[in-house]
Structure 1
Amino acid sequence: MIQRLIIDSNMLQSEHLRYFLNTSSTNFAVLPDFAWFEIYKQRSIEAVASALSVIGDFPEQVIVLKSGREIAEIDSLTPMMPPLMQYEDTAGSIREMVNILNGPGRNAPEILDQLDRMWDGAVNFLPGMLEGAQDIMTSLPEMSEQMFKPQHLRIIRQNSRYTPEMFSSIFGAADQICETLSDGGKQRSTPSGFGEHKIHTYLYRYALALVIYLLWWIRNGNQAQKRLDRARNDLIDLSFAVYGTYYEGLMTSDKKAGWMYENLRLALDAIEMETTTNR
Protein backbone atom coordinates (compact mmCIF):
# COMPACT_ATOMS: atom_id res chain seq x y z
CA MET A 1 0.00 0.00 0.00
CA ILE A 2 1.33 3.42 -0.97
CA GLN A 3 2.05 5.72 1.96
CA ARG A 4 2.78 9.35 1.12
CA LEU A 5 3.49 11.54 4.14
CA ILE A 6 4.09 15.27 4.29
CA ILE A 7 7.41 15.70 6.06
CA ASP A 8 7.65 18.53 8.56
CA SER A 9 10.99 20.34 8.57
CA ASN A 10 11.74 19.02 12.06
CA MET A 11 11.72 15.45 10.71
CA LEU A 12 13.98 15.88 7.67
CA GLN A 13 17.09 14.55 9.40
CA SER A 14 15.33 12.05 11.65
CA GLU A 15 15.95 8.33 11.84
CA HIS A 16 12.17 7.96 11.84
CA LEU A 17 12.06 9.33 8.29
CA ARG A 18 14.95 7.12 7.24
CA TYR A 19 13.20 4.06 8.65
CA PHE A 20 9.95 5.03 6.91
CA LEU A 21 11.64 5.33 3.50
CA ASN A 22 13.83 2.27 4.00
CA THR A 23 10.92 0.04 5.02
CA SER A 24 9.18 0.05 1.65
CA SER A 25 9.73 1.47 -1.82
CA THR A 26 6.04 2.45 -1.80
CA ASN A 27 6.62 4.90 1.05
CA PHE A 28 7.13 8.47 -0.14
CA ALA A 29 8.32 11.67 1.53
CA VAL A 30 6.31 14.66 0.30
CA LEU A 31 8.12 18.00 0.64
CA PRO A 32 6.10 21.23 0.49
CA ASP A 33 7.48 24.62 -0.49
CA PHE A 34 8.09 25.68 3.10
CA ALA A 35 10.23 22.61 3.73
CA TRP A 36 12.65 23.97 1.13
CA PHE A 37 12.43 27.41 2.70
CA GLU A 38 13.54 25.92 6.01
CA ILE A 39 16.40 24.12 4.26
CA TYR A 40 17.72 27.06 2.28
CA LYS A 41 17.23 29.72 4.94
CA GLN A 42 20.31 28.36 6.74
CA ARG A 43 22.43 29.69 3.88
CA SER A 44 25.18 27.19 4.54
CA ILE A 45 26.48 24.40 2.33
CA GLU A 46 27.06 22.19 5.36
CA ALA A 47 23.60 22.83 6.78
CA VAL A 48 21.84 22.19 3.46
CA ALA A 49 23.82 18.99 2.89
CA SER A 50 22.89 17.83 6.38
CA ALA A 51 19.21 18.65 5.83
CA LEU A 52 19.23 16.52 2.68
CA SER A 53 21.18 13.65 4.25
CA VAL A 54 18.15 11.36 4.55
CA ILE A 55 16.06 12.13 1.49
CA GLY A 56 19.24 12.25 -0.56
CA ASP A 57 19.57 8.51 -0.02
CA PHE A 58 16.05 7.91 -1.38
CA PRO A 59 15.60 10.35 -4.30
CA GLU A 60 13.12 8.07 -6.07
CA GLN A 61 10.86 8.22 -3.02
CA VAL A 62 10.66 12.00 -2.76
CA ILE A 63 7.70 14.03 -4.02
CA VAL A 64 8.22 17.77 -4.36
CA LEU A 65 5.17 20.03 -4.23
CA LYS A 66 4.63 23.19 -6.23
CA SER A 67 4.25 26.52 -4.48
CA GLY A 68 1.17 27.15 -2.37
CA ARG A 69 0.18 29.92 -4.78
CA GLU A 70 0.16 27.50 -7.72
CA ILE A 71 -1.73 24.89 -5.74
CA ALA A 72 -4.32 27.48 -4.66
CA GLU A 73 -5.11 28.15 -8.32
CA ILE A 74 -6.00 24.54 -9.18
CA ASP A 75 -9.65 24.34 -10.22
CA SER A 76 -11.92 22.95 -7.51
CA LEU A 77 -13.54 20.60 -10.03
CA THR A 78 -10.29 18.69 -10.41
CA PRO A 79 -11.08 15.13 -9.24
CA MET A 80 -7.52 14.26 -8.23
CA MET A 81 -5.54 17.13 -6.70
CA PRO A 82 -2.19 15.49 -5.76
CA PRO A 83 -0.87 14.87 -9.30
CA LEU A 84 -1.39 18.54 -10.18
CA MET A 85 0.21 19.67 -6.91
CA GLN A 86 3.49 17.89 -7.65
CA TYR A 87 6.51 18.53 -9.81
CA GLU A 88 7.41 15.67 -12.13
CA ASP A 89 10.72 13.82 -12.37
CA THR A 90 12.47 15.40 -9.39
CA ALA A 91 14.60 12.38 -8.44
CA GLY A 92 17.39 13.30 -10.85
CA SER A 93 17.55 16.88 -9.59
CA ILE A 94 17.71 15.77 -5.96
CA ARG A 95 20.40 13.22 -6.72
CA GLU A 96 22.46 15.81 -8.60
CA MET A 97 22.07 18.35 -5.80
CA VAL A 98 23.19 15.88 -3.14
CA ASN A 99 26.19 14.80 -5.23
CA ILE A 100 27.27 18.42 -5.67
CA LEU A 101 26.83 19.27 -2.00
CA ASN A 102 28.84 16.23 -0.96
CA GLY A 103 31.45 16.59 -3.69
CA PRO A 104 34.87 18.29 -3.75
CA GLY A 105 33.59 21.33 -5.66
CA ARG A 106 30.74 22.22 -3.36
CA ASN A 107 32.38 25.49 -2.31
CA ALA A 108 32.82 26.66 -5.88
CA PRO A 109 31.57 30.22 -6.47
CA GLU A 110 28.85 29.09 -8.88
CA ILE A 111 27.47 26.65 -6.28
CA LEU A 112 27.43 29.34 -3.60
CA ASP A 113 25.72 31.72 -6.02
CA GLN A 114 23.05 29.12 -6.75
CA LEU A 115 22.44 28.61 -3.03
CA ASP A 116 22.08 32.39 -2.60
CA ARG A 117 19.54 32.51 -5.42
CA MET A 118 17.53 29.71 -3.82
CA TRP A 119 17.61 31.53 -0.49
CA ASP A 120 16.57 34.83 -2.05
CA GLY A 121 13.75 33.12 -3.92
CA ALA A 122 12.43 31.53 -0.72
CA VAL A 123 12.61 34.83 1.18
CA ASN A 124 10.87 36.79 -1.59
CA PHE A 125 8.12 34.19 -1.83
CA LEU A 126 7.28 34.10 1.88
CA PRO A 127 5.42 37.43 2.26
CA GLY A 128 3.04 36.68 -0.60
CA MET A 129 2.20 33.26 0.76
CA LEU A 130 1.31 34.66 4.17
CA GLU A 131 -0.49 37.74 2.87
CA GLY A 132 -3.91 38.04 4.48
CA ALA A 133 -3.40 35.16 6.87
CA GLN A 134 -1.26 37.26 9.22
CA ASP A 135 -4.10 39.75 9.60
CA ILE A 136 -6.40 36.93 10.58
CA MET A 137 -3.90 35.65 13.15
CA THR A 138 -3.88 39.02 14.90
CA SER A 139 -7.69 39.01 14.91
CA LEU A 140 -8.01 35.88 17.04
CA PRO A 141 -9.55 37.62 20.10
CA GLU A 142 -12.18 39.35 17.96
CA MET A 143 -12.92 36.13 16.06
CA SER A 144 -13.35 34.26 19.31
CA GLU A 145 -15.89 36.76 20.63
CA GLN A 146 -17.85 36.89 17.39
CA MET A 147 -18.00 33.14 16.81
CA PHE A 148 -18.63 31.71 20.26
CA LYS A 149 -20.81 32.45 23.25
CA PRO A 150 -19.30 32.15 26.76
CA GLN A 151 -20.75 28.65 27.21
CA HIS A 152 -19.19 27.63 23.90
CA LEU A 153 -15.78 28.88 25.01
CA ARG A 154 -16.09 26.73 28.13
CA ILE A 155 -16.88 23.70 25.98
CA ILE A 156 -13.76 24.30 23.89
CA ARG A 157 -11.51 24.78 26.92
CA GLN A 158 -12.91 21.65 28.59
CA ASN A 159 -12.65 19.65 25.36
CA SER A 160 -16.33 18.70 25.64
CA ARG A 161 -18.72 17.77 22.86
CA TYR A 162 -19.37 20.62 20.42
CA THR A 163 -22.93 21.75 19.75
CA PRO A 164 -24.48 22.03 16.25
CA GLU A 165 -24.40 25.83 16.67
CA MET A 166 -20.65 25.69 17.24
CA PHE A 167 -20.07 23.59 14.14
CA SER A 168 -22.16 26.06 12.14
CA SER A 169 -19.98 28.91 13.42
CA ILE A 170 -16.78 27.02 12.61
CA PHE A 171 -17.69 26.18 9.03
CA GLY A 172 -19.24 29.60 8.43
CA ALA A 173 -16.03 31.28 9.59
CA ALA A 174 -14.02 29.05 7.26
CA ASP A 175 -16.14 30.25 4.32
CA GLN A 176 -15.53 33.89 5.25
CA ILE A 177 -11.80 33.42 5.76
CA CYS A 178 -11.54 31.63 2.42
CA GLU A 179 -13.04 34.68 0.72
CA THR A 180 -10.58 36.93 2.57
CA LEU A 181 -7.60 34.83 1.49
CA SER A 182 -8.83 34.77 -2.10
CA ASP A 183 -9.07 38.56 -2.14
CA GLY A 184 -5.68 38.92 -0.45
CA GLY A 185 -4.16 36.78 -3.16
CA LYS A 186 -5.88 38.91 -5.86
CA GLN A 187 -7.96 35.86 -6.80
CA ARG A 188 -11.11 37.84 -7.46
CA SER A 189 -12.98 35.29 -9.53
CA THR A 190 -14.65 32.35 -7.84
CA PRO A 191 -13.46 29.00 -9.23
CA SER A 192 -16.05 27.09 -11.25
CA GLY A 193 -18.23 24.84 -9.14
CA PHE A 194 -16.62 26.23 -6.00
CA GLY A 195 -19.71 25.92 -3.79
CA GLU A 196 -20.03 22.15 -3.98
CA HIS A 197 -16.37 21.37 -4.49
CA LYS A 198 -14.73 23.95 -2.22
CA ILE A 199 -13.60 21.22 0.16
CA HIS A 200 -11.02 20.15 -2.43
CA THR A 201 -9.40 23.57 -2.77
CA TYR A 202 -6.26 24.52 -0.94
CA LEU A 203 -7.60 27.92 0.12
CA TYR A 204 -10.69 26.46 1.76
CA ARG A 205 -8.69 23.82 3.62
CA TYR A 206 -6.23 26.48 4.76
CA ALA A 207 -9.13 28.68 5.91
CA LEU A 208 -10.60 25.80 7.86
CA ALA A 209 -7.16 25.13 9.34
CA LEU A 210 -7.04 28.73 10.58
CA VAL A 211 -10.30 28.12 12.43
CA ILE A 212 -8.83 24.91 13.86
CA TYR A 213 -5.89 27.02 15.03
CA LEU A 214 -8.35 29.38 16.71
CA LEU A 215 -9.78 26.41 18.64
CA TRP A 216 -6.27 25.45 19.76
CA TRP A 217 -5.63 29.06 20.79
CA ILE A 218 -8.82 29.13 22.90
CA ARG A 219 -8.05 25.76 24.48
CA ASN A 220 -4.61 26.93 25.52
CA GLY A 221 -5.57 30.11 27.34
CA ASN A 222 -6.02 32.76 24.64
CA GLN A 223 -2.39 33.85 24.85
CA ALA A 224 -1.56 36.68 22.47
CA GLN A 225 1.09 35.83 19.88
CA LYS A 226 3.64 38.59 20.46
CA ARG A 227 6.51 37.34 18.31
CA LEU A 228 6.08 37.59 14.57
CA ASP A 229 8.46 34.70 13.90
CA ARG A 230 6.41 32.35 16.06
CA ALA A 231 3.21 33.46 14.38
CA ARG A 232 4.87 32.80 11.05
CA ASN A 233 5.95 29.35 12.17
CA ASP A 234 2.39 28.57 13.27
CA LEU A 235 1.13 29.55 9.83
CA ILE A 236 3.73 27.33 8.21
CA ASP A 237 2.64 24.46 10.46
CA LEU A 238 -0.92 25.07 9.25
CA SER A 239 0.20 24.70 5.65
CA PHE A 240 1.90 21.38 6.46
CA ALA A 241 -1.31 20.18 8.11
CA VAL A 242 -3.34 21.19 5.05
CA TYR A 243 -0.99 19.39 2.65
CA GLY A 244 -1.23 16.31 4.86
CA THR A 245 -4.98 16.08 4.20
CA TYR A 246 -4.29 15.52 0.49
CA TYR A 247 -2.05 12.55 1.26
CA GLU A 248 -1.88 9.83 3.88
CA GLY A 249 -0.79 12.02 6.74
CA LEU A 250 1.80 14.30 8.32
CA MET A 251 5.11 13.26 9.88
CA THR A 252 5.99 15.78 12.57
CA SER A 253 7.47 15.95 16.06
CA ASP A 254 5.45 19.08 16.85
CA LYS A 255 2.40 18.27 19.00
CA LYS A 256 0.57 21.43 17.96
CA ALA A 257 1.02 20.68 14.26
CA GLY A 258 -0.07 17.08 14.81
CA TRP A 259 -3.17 18.23 16.71
CA MET A 260 -4.10 20.69 13.98
CA TYR A 261 -3.70 18.03 11.28
CA GLU A 262 -5.82 15.44 13.10
CA ASN A 263 -8.62 17.90 13.81
CA LEU A 264 -8.56 19.34 10.31
CA ARG A 265 -8.84 15.83 8.91
CA LEU A 266 -11.83 15.12 11.19
CA ALA A 267 -13.52 18.38 10.13
CA LEU A 268 -13.07 17.57 6.45
CA ASP A 269 -14.41 14.05 6.99
CA ALA A 270 -17.49 15.54 8.68
CA ILE A 271 -18.10 17.86 5.72
CA GLU A 272 -17.73 15.02 3.23
CA MET A 273 -20.10 12.83 5.20
CA GLU A 274 -22.72 15.58 5.38
CA THR A 275 -22.37 16.31 1.67
CA THR A 276 -22.82 12.63 0.81
CA THR A 277 -25.86 12.34 3.09
CA ASN A 278 -27.57 15.37 1.55
CA ARG A 279 -27.17 14.22 -2.04
Structure 2
Amino acid sequence: MQRLVIDSNMLQSEKLRRFLDASVANFAVLPDFAWFELYKQKSVEAIVAALSVIGDFPEQIIVLKSGSEIAQIDPRTSMMTTAMQRTDVARDIREMVAILNGPDRNKPEISAQLERLWSGAVNLLPGMLEGAQDIMTSLPEMAEQMFAPQQLRIIRMNTRYPEDMFSSIFGAADQIWETLSSVDSRHNWTSEFDEFKNHTYLYRYALAIVIYLLWWIKNGSQNQKRLDRVRNDLIDLSFAVYGTYFEGLMTADKNAEWMHQNLYLALDAIDNA
Protein backbone atom coordinates (compact mmCIF):
# COMPACT_ATOMS: atom_id res chain seq x y z
CA MET A 1 0.00 0.00 0.00
CA GLN A 2 1.20 3.49 -0.86
CA ARG A 3 -0.57 6.48 0.57
CA LEU A 4 0.78 9.80 -0.67
CA VAL A 5 -0.29 13.22 0.52
CA ILE A 6 -1.18 15.22 -2.59
CA ASP A 7 -0.14 18.85 -2.82
CA SER A 8 -2.71 21.15 -4.45
CA ASN A 9 -0.43 21.63 -7.46
CA MET A 10 -0.69 17.92 -8.29
CA LEU A 11 -4.47 17.43 -8.12
CA GLN A 12 -4.93 17.64 -11.90
CA SER A 13 -1.63 16.01 -12.85
CA GLU A 14 -1.08 12.96 -15.00
CA LYS A 15 1.41 11.81 -12.37
CA LEU A 16 -1.43 11.50 -9.87
CA ARG A 17 -3.61 9.69 -12.41
CA ARG A 18 -0.83 7.21 -13.17
CA PHE A 19 -0.23 6.67 -9.47
CA LEU A 20 -3.88 5.84 -8.74
CA ASP A 21 -4.29 3.80 -11.92
CA ALA A 22 -1.19 1.70 -11.18
CA SER A 23 -2.75 -0.15 -8.22
CA VAL A 24 -5.96 -0.18 -6.21
CA ALA A 25 -3.66 -0.23 -3.16
CA ASN A 26 -2.45 3.30 -3.96
CA PHE A 27 -4.27 6.11 -2.16
CA ALA A 28 -4.28 9.89 -2.56
CA VAL A 29 -4.40 11.66 0.80
CA LEU A 30 -6.02 15.11 0.74
CA PRO A 31 -5.49 17.43 3.75
CA ASP A 32 -7.78 20.32 4.61
CA PHE A 33 -5.55 22.84 2.83
CA ALA A 34 -6.05 21.01 -0.48
CA TRP A 35 -9.71 22.00 -0.29
CA PHE A 36 -8.86 25.50 0.88
CA GLU A 37 -6.67 26.08 -2.17
CA LEU A 38 -9.49 24.80 -4.33
CA TYR A 39 -12.40 26.72 -2.83
CA LYS A 40 -10.61 30.06 -2.56
CA GLN A 41 -10.75 30.31 -6.37
CA LYS A 42 -14.55 30.75 -6.15
CA SER A 43 -15.13 28.94 -9.43
CA VAL A 44 -17.28 25.93 -10.32
CA GLU A 45 -14.97 25.27 -13.26
CA ALA A 46 -11.96 25.16 -10.91
CA ILE A 47 -13.67 22.57 -8.73
CA VAL A 48 -14.65 20.46 -11.73
CA ALA A 49 -11.06 20.60 -13.02
CA ALA A 50 -9.64 19.68 -9.61
CA LEU A 51 -11.94 16.65 -9.44
CA SER A 52 -11.01 15.50 -12.95
CA VAL A 53 -8.51 12.95 -11.61
CA ILE A 54 -9.66 12.03 -8.11
CA GLY A 55 -13.25 11.85 -9.32
CA ASP A 56 -12.28 8.82 -11.39
CA PHE A 57 -10.86 7.02 -8.33
CA PRO A 58 -13.25 7.80 -5.45
CA GLU A 59 -12.46 4.57 -3.60
CA GLN A 60 -8.76 5.50 -3.50
CA ILE A 61 -9.14 8.91 -1.89
CA ILE A 62 -8.42 9.62 1.78
CA VAL A 63 -9.68 12.97 3.09
CA LEU A 64 -8.18 14.17 6.35
CA LYS A 65 -9.91 15.95 9.19
CA SER A 66 -8.99 19.56 9.93
CA GLY A 67 -5.67 20.36 11.53
CA SER A 68 -7.39 21.39 14.77
CA GLU A 69 -9.16 18.02 14.97
CA ILE A 70 -5.97 16.10 14.22
CA ALA A 71 -4.11 18.08 16.90
CA GLN A 72 -6.53 16.67 19.49
CA ILE A 73 -5.86 13.00 18.68
CA ASP A 74 -4.28 11.13 21.59
CA PRO A 75 -0.65 10.53 20.51
CA ARG A 76 -0.68 7.13 22.19
CA THR A 77 -3.18 5.73 19.71
CA SER A 78 -1.91 2.84 17.61
CA MET A 79 -4.20 3.85 14.72
CA MET A 80 -3.09 7.45 14.30
CA THR A 81 -3.56 7.65 10.54
CA THR A 82 -7.00 6.05 10.73
CA ALA A 83 -8.08 8.54 13.40
CA MET A 84 -6.98 11.38 11.10
CA GLN A 85 -9.35 10.36 8.29
CA ARG A 86 -12.92 11.31 7.47
CA THR A 87 -15.44 8.58 6.65
CA ASP A 88 -17.79 8.03 3.66
CA VAL A 89 -15.41 9.95 1.40
CA ALA A 90 -15.94 7.87 -1.74
CA ARG A 91 -19.69 8.43 -1.67
CA ASP A 92 -19.28 12.17 -1.13
CA ILE A 93 -16.81 12.48 -4.01
CA ARG A 94 -19.07 10.51 -6.36
CA GLU A 95 -22.02 12.73 -5.45
CA MET A 96 -19.99 15.93 -5.91
CA VAL A 97 -18.70 14.83 -9.32
CA ALA A 98 -22.19 13.83 -10.46
CA ILE A 99 -23.71 17.14 -9.37
CA LEU A 100 -21.01 19.40 -10.79
CA ASN A 101 -20.94 17.56 -14.12
CA GLY A 102 -24.72 17.56 -14.48
CA PRO A 103 -27.61 20.01 -14.78
CA ASP A 104 -28.18 20.15 -11.01
CA ARG A 105 -25.08 22.29 -10.47
CA ASN A 106 -27.10 25.39 -11.37
CA LYS A 107 -29.78 24.76 -8.77
CA PRO A 108 -30.05 27.47 -6.08
CA GLU A 109 -29.32 25.08 -3.19
CA ILE A 110 -26.12 23.87 -4.90
CA SER A 111 -25.04 27.44 -5.61
CA ALA A 112 -25.71 28.34 -1.97
CA GLN A 113 -23.65 25.40 -0.75
CA LEU A 114 -20.73 26.34 -3.00
CA GLU A 115 -20.96 29.93 -1.84
CA ARG A 116 -20.64 28.78 1.77
CA LEU A 117 -17.52 26.78 0.89
CA TRP A 118 -16.02 29.74 -0.96
CA SER A 119 -16.83 32.15 1.87
CA GLY A 120 -15.26 29.79 4.41
CA ALA A 121 -12.02 29.70 2.44
CA VAL A 122 -11.96 33.47 1.98
CA ASN A 123 -12.66 34.06 5.68
CA LEU A 124 -9.59 32.02 6.58
CA LEU A 125 -7.26 34.28 4.61
CA PRO A 126 -6.92 37.21 7.09
CA GLY A 127 -5.99 34.88 9.95
CA MET A 128 -3.51 33.03 7.76
CA LEU A 129 -1.86 36.26 6.68
CA GLU A 130 -1.65 37.38 10.30
CA GLY A 131 0.01 34.09 11.22
CA ALA A 132 2.42 34.48 8.30
CA GLN A 133 3.32 37.96 9.54
CA ASP A 134 3.98 36.67 13.07
CA ILE A 135 6.26 33.87 11.87
CA MET A 136 8.10 36.07 9.37
CA THR A 137 8.73 38.70 12.05
CA SER A 138 10.07 36.10 14.48
CA LEU A 139 12.54 34.42 12.09
CA PRO A 140 15.49 36.84 12.57
CA GLU A 141 15.17 36.66 16.35
CA MET A 142 14.93 32.85 16.27
CA ALA A 143 18.03 32.61 14.06
CA GLU A 144 20.03 34.90 16.34
CA GLN A 145 19.01 33.07 19.52
CA MET A 146 19.52 29.55 18.15
CA PHE A 147 22.73 29.80 16.15
CA ALA A 148 26.18 31.35 16.46
CA PRO A 149 27.64 33.13 13.39
CA GLN A 150 29.73 30.08 12.49
CA GLN A 151 26.64 27.87 12.62
CA LEU A 152 24.74 30.29 10.40
CA ARG A 153 27.55 29.97 7.84
CA ILE A 154 27.25 26.18 8.00
CA ILE A 155 23.53 26.40 7.24
CA ARG A 156 24.04 28.83 4.35
CA MET A 157 26.75 26.61 2.86
CA ASN A 158 24.54 23.55 3.33
CA THR A 159 27.38 21.54 4.90
CA ARG A 160 27.14 18.81 7.54
CA TYR A 161 25.73 20.01 10.86
CA PRO A 162 27.79 19.39 14.04
CA GLU A 163 26.09 17.63 16.96
CA ASP A 164 25.48 20.80 18.99
CA MET A 165 23.36 22.24 16.18
CA PHE A 166 20.96 19.31 16.38
CA SER A 167 20.52 20.02 20.09
CA SER A 168 19.60 23.61 19.21
CA ILE A 169 17.17 22.50 16.51
CA PHE A 170 15.31 19.96 18.64
CA GLY A 171 15.38 22.25 21.67
CA ALA A 172 13.72 25.03 19.65
CA ALA A 173 11.10 22.59 18.37
CA ASP A 174 10.30 21.61 21.97
CA GLN A 175 9.80 25.25 22.92
CA ILE A 176 7.53 25.96 19.95
CA TRP A 177 5.56 22.78 20.64
CA GLU A 178 5.00 23.77 24.26
CA THR A 179 3.83 27.21 23.14
CA LEU A 180 1.44 25.83 20.55
CA SER A 181 0.01 23.17 22.85
CA SER A 182 -0.47 25.56 25.77
CA VAL A 183 -2.82 27.75 23.72
CA ASP A 184 -5.56 25.12 24.07
CA SER A 185 -5.62 22.74 27.04
CA ARG A 186 -7.04 20.00 24.79
CA HIS A 187 -3.65 19.93 23.03
CA ASN A 188 -1.49 19.98 26.17
CA TRP A 189 0.42 16.72 25.82
CA THR A 190 3.73 18.19 26.98
CA SER A 191 3.94 16.88 30.55
CA GLU A 192 2.11 13.57 30.49
CA PHE A 193 2.98 12.22 27.05
CA ASP A 194 6.51 13.43 26.45
CA GLU A 195 7.68 10.12 24.98
CA PHE A 196 4.87 10.30 22.42
CA LYS A 197 5.39 13.92 21.44
CA ASN A 198 6.82 13.14 18.00
CA HIS A 199 3.49 11.50 17.10
CA THR A 200 1.50 14.67 17.75
CA TYR A 201 0.57 16.97 14.90
CA LEU A 202 1.60 20.07 16.87
CA TYR A 203 5.08 18.75 17.63
CA ARG A 204 5.65 17.82 14.00
CA TYR A 205 4.45 21.26 12.94
CA ALA A 206 6.73 22.89 15.52
CA LEU A 207 9.68 20.92 14.15
CA ALA A 208 8.61 21.91 10.64
CA ILE A 209 8.73 25.59 11.62
CA VAL A 210 12.34 25.14 12.73
CA ILE A 211 13.11 23.43 9.42
CA TYR A 212 11.46 26.35 7.64
CA LEU A 213 13.84 28.60 9.60
CA LEU A 214 16.78 26.54 8.27
CA TRP A 215 15.42 26.91 4.73
CA TRP A 216 15.05 30.68 5.26
CA ILE A 217 18.64 31.00 6.51
CA LYS A 218 19.97 28.75 3.74
CA ASN A 219 18.35 30.99 1.14
CA GLY A 220 19.82 34.24 2.42
CA SER A 221 17.61 35.29 5.36
CA GLN A 222 15.74 37.79 3.21
CA ASN A 223 12.67 39.49 4.65
CA GLN A 224 9.70 38.44 2.56
CA LYS A 225 7.61 41.49 1.69
CA ARG A 226 4.71 39.56 0.19
CA LEU A 227 2.81 37.85 2.98
CA ASP A 228 0.81 35.78 0.53
CA ARG A 229 4.05 34.03 -0.43
CA VAL A 230 4.87 33.38 3.22
CA ARG A 231 1.35 32.05 3.68
CA ASN A 232 1.90 29.70 0.76
CA ASP A 233 5.17 28.55 2.35
CA LEU A 234 3.29 27.75 5.56
CA ILE A 235 0.66 25.83 3.61
CA ASP A 236 3.49 23.86 1.98
CA LEU A 237 4.77 23.24 5.49
CA SER A 238 1.45 21.70 6.52
CA PHE A 239 1.52 19.38 3.49
CA ALA A 240 5.05 18.36 4.49
CA VAL A 241 3.86 17.56 8.02
CA TYR A 242 0.92 15.45 6.79
CA GLY A 243 3.27 13.60 4.46
CA THR A 244 5.28 12.29 7.42
CA TYR A 245 2.27 10.34 8.66
CA PHE A 246 1.94 8.46 5.39
CA GLU A 247 4.33 7.16 2.73
CA GLY A 248 5.33 10.54 1.38
CA LEU A 249 4.34 13.73 -0.39
CA MET A 250 3.54 14.22 -4.07
CA THR A 251 4.38 17.80 -5.00
CA ALA A 252 5.82 19.84 -7.85
CA ASP A 253 7.24 22.39 -5.40
CA LYS A 254 10.96 21.92 -4.67
CA ASN A 255 10.77 23.89 -1.42
CA ALA A 256 7.91 21.75 -0.13
CA GLU A 257 9.82 18.61 -1.10
CA TRP A 258 12.97 19.87 0.67
CA MET A 259 11.03 20.65 3.84
CA HIS A 260 9.26 17.29 3.78
CA GLN A 261 12.49 15.33 3.29
CA ASN A 262 14.28 17.16 6.09
CA LEU A 263 11.32 16.87 8.44
CA TYR A 264 11.18 13.14 7.75
CA LEU A 265 14.91 12.81 8.47
CA ALA A 266 14.57 14.78 11.71
CA LEU A 267 11.71 12.56 12.92
CA ASP A 268 13.68 9.48 11.93
CA ALA A 269 16.61 10.74 14.00
CA ILE A 270 14.32 11.10 17.02
CA ASP A 271 12.94 7.58 16.57
CA ASN A 272 16.45 6.13 16.36
CA ALA A 273 17.96 8.18 19.17
Q: Distance in 2 between matches of 1:187 and 1:135?
A: 23
**Is residue 2:234 matched to residue 1:235?**
yes
Q: What is aligned with 2:166? A: 167
Q: What is aligned with 2:63? A: 64
Q: What is aligned with 2:257? A: 258
1:158-197, CA deviations, whole angstroms, 9 ceiling, x for partnerless residues? 1111111100000000011112222345657436742110
Q: What is aligned with 1:52? A: 51
Tell me if structure 1 keeps the 8 A contact 2:181–2:190: no
Deviation at 1:137, TM superposition (A): 3.1
1:72-118, CA deviations, whole angstroms, 9 ceiling, x for partnerless residues? 01112112210000001210000000010000221222111110111
Q: Distance in 1 between matches of 2:185 and 2:225?
A: 28
Deviation at 1:44, TM superposition (A): 1.1
Could you tell which deviates more after superposition, 218-227 or 192-201? Answer: 192-201
Tell me if structure 2 keeps the 8 A contact 1:5–1:250: yes
Q: Distance in 2 between matches of 1:177 and 1:31?
A: 26
Q: What is aligned with 2:85? A: 86
Q: What is aligned with 2:18? A: 19
Q: What is aligned with 1:217? A: 216
What TM-score do you get using the length of structure 2 for normalisation?
Answer: 0.95
Tell me if structure 1 keeps the 8 A contact 2:155–2:218: yes
Tell me if structure 2 keeps the 8 A contact 1:131–1:185: no
Residue identity in the other structure for 2:19: F
Residue identity in the other structure for 1:218: I
**Is residue 2:39 matched to residue 1:40?**
yes
Residue identity in the other structure for 1:223: Q
Q: What is aligned with 1:137? A: 136
Deviation at 1:129, TM superposition (A): 7.2
What TM-score do you get using the length of structure 1 for normalisation?
Answer: 0.93
Q: What is aligned with 1:96? A: 95
Q: Distance in 1 between matches of 2:203 and 2:265?
A: 15
Across the aligned residues of Structure 1 and Structure 2, the Cα RMSD in angstroms comes to: 1.8
Residue identity in the other structure for 2:161: Y
Q: Distance in 2 between matches of 1:13 and 1:236?
A: 18
Residue identity in the other structure for 1:73: Q
Q: Distance in 2 between matches of 1:14 and 1:74?
A: 32
Tell me if structure 2 keeps the 8 A contact 1:7–1:31: yes
Report the CA distance shift for 1:221/1:129 in structure 2 as closer, same or farther (over 3 A). closer
Tell me if structure 2 keeps the 8 A contact 1:77–1:192: no
Q: Distance in 1 between matches of 2:88 and 2:17?
A: 21
Report the CA distance shift for 1:124/1:75 in structure 2 as closer, same or farther (over 3 A). farther
Residue identity in the other structure for 1:222: S
Deviation at 1:227, TM superposition (A): 1.2
Gaps of 5+ in 1: 275-279
Residue identity in the other structure for 1:121: G
Q: Distance in 1 between matches of 2:44 and 2:52?
A: 12
Gaps of 5+ in 2: none
Q: Distance in 1 between matches of 2:239 and 2:145?
A: 27
1:190-240, CA deviations, whole angstroms, 9 ceiling, x for partnerless residues? 367421100000000000000000000011000112111111111110000
Q: Distance in 2 between matches of 1:133 and 1:198?
A: 25
**Structure 1 SS opposite 2:262:** helix
Q: Distance in 2 between matches of 1:179 and 1:62?
A: 33
Could you tell which deviates more after superposition, 252-261 or 227-236? Answer: 227-236
Residue identity in the other structure for 1:257: A
**Structure 1 SS opposite 2:55:** helix
Report the CA distance shift for 1:63/1:129 in structure 2 as closer, same or farther (over 3 A). farther
Tell me if structure 1 keeps the 8 A contact 2:72–2:187: no
